Structure 1
């Protein structure tokens, strides 16, 4: 098994993490924080919006089953990359769209797929997804890991995560893990 990691920000990490954990070839996805200036930030600090961190998901995947490009295509299907510092009702720089690359190859692939999305005019507005090196990643608190799976009764999960995940599973049915 050849493992690679991707670190992605696309709004609330509960949505992105839940989706990636259901994809064949993903070993594990974790909720975390990246892109800020505070060491080991707490959820409360990040939510205030002044640490510079984004809510991210770190995805560890088997490159024999899933390419980095596949990971990026899934990522762009999970959120609106044209919304600056927000996804739906979640507003603030912590909800920005960003790709935190781990090496030059990932950076190049991220730039390439964004250029392709722009050329195809998939969105009526320009893509605002930031591309930056992952120089600080902090795993989120334990209670954020597998949050949707552990808290299906949560109102936010029912109103936001569940419909987004259902739409994702329908679109990417061929890429899902078999239970």
Structure 2
């Protein structure tokens, strides 16, 4: 099993999109790489914690590669937008790739550099080690499955 943590704007849509992929074994939404311990959604939305809304992905590398996961990631975000995706604005909606395995860095950097060729503006997606992760509240987990009419900036169909 391998793990990668992705920030792509609102975590509801990210989870709804990635949990459908063959080889993704477990997903969980949460908050990452901020300045506070055990933040709440309300605190994160106050734009004072430094946390990003993220999707924690556990995947089977025998069934899906990191390259494939990143291809899907780039497909559902605009990596040139700083602190916003879709209608969501704030530092918690920044894009990022937070790795737990240093060996993944060359793959991530290659993927980002290849993606950059599609844009005139620079990609602002963070590529950083995962310093801190805290799961979001239970009601956020699999939110769009429980609330099919909920907001999502990602086209799911």
Q: 1:103 Cα deviation (Å)?
A: 1.7
The match for 1:170 is none
Aligned residue pair count:
157
Structure 2: how far apart are the matches of 1:110 and 1:9?
Answer: 14
Q: Say which SS state the counterpart of residue 17 (structure 2) adopts.
A: helix
The match for 1:117 is 115
- Indicate whether 1:22 and 2:25 are aligned: no
Which of the residues 118, 129, 133 maps onto 1:133? Answer: 129
The match for 1:105 is 103
Q: Runs of 5+ in structure 2 lacking a partner? A: none
Q: 1:123 Cα deviation (Å)?
A: 2.3
When Rg is computed on C-alpha atoms for both structures, the one with the higher figure is: 1
Q: 1:89 Cα deviation (Å)?
A: 1.4
The match for 1:165 is 156
Structure 1: how far apart are the matches of 2:126 and 2:50?
Answer: 13
The match for 1:148 is 144
Structure 2: how far apart are the matches of 1:70 and 1:133?
Answer: 20
Output the TM-score relative to the length of structure 2: 0.95
- 8 Å Cα contact 2:8-2:77 kept in structure 1: yes
Q: 1:124 Cα deviation (Å)?
A: 3.2
Cα offsets for 1:62-112 (capped at 9, x unmatched): 111001111111111111111011002101110001111112122221111
Cα offsets for 1:27-71 (capped at 9, x unmatched): 111111001011010000001111000000001111110011111
Q: Runs of 5+ in structure 1 lacking a partner? A: 167-179
Structure 1: how far apart are the matches of 2:89 and 2:50?
Answer: 14
Structure 2: how far apart are the matches of 1:145 and 1:124?
Answer: 36
Superposed counterparts of 1:4-15, under 5 Å: 4-15=2-13
Q: Say which SS state the counterpart of residue 165 (structure 1) adopts.
A: coil
The match for 1:176 is none
The match for 2:93 is 95
| Structure richer in helix, relative to its length | 1
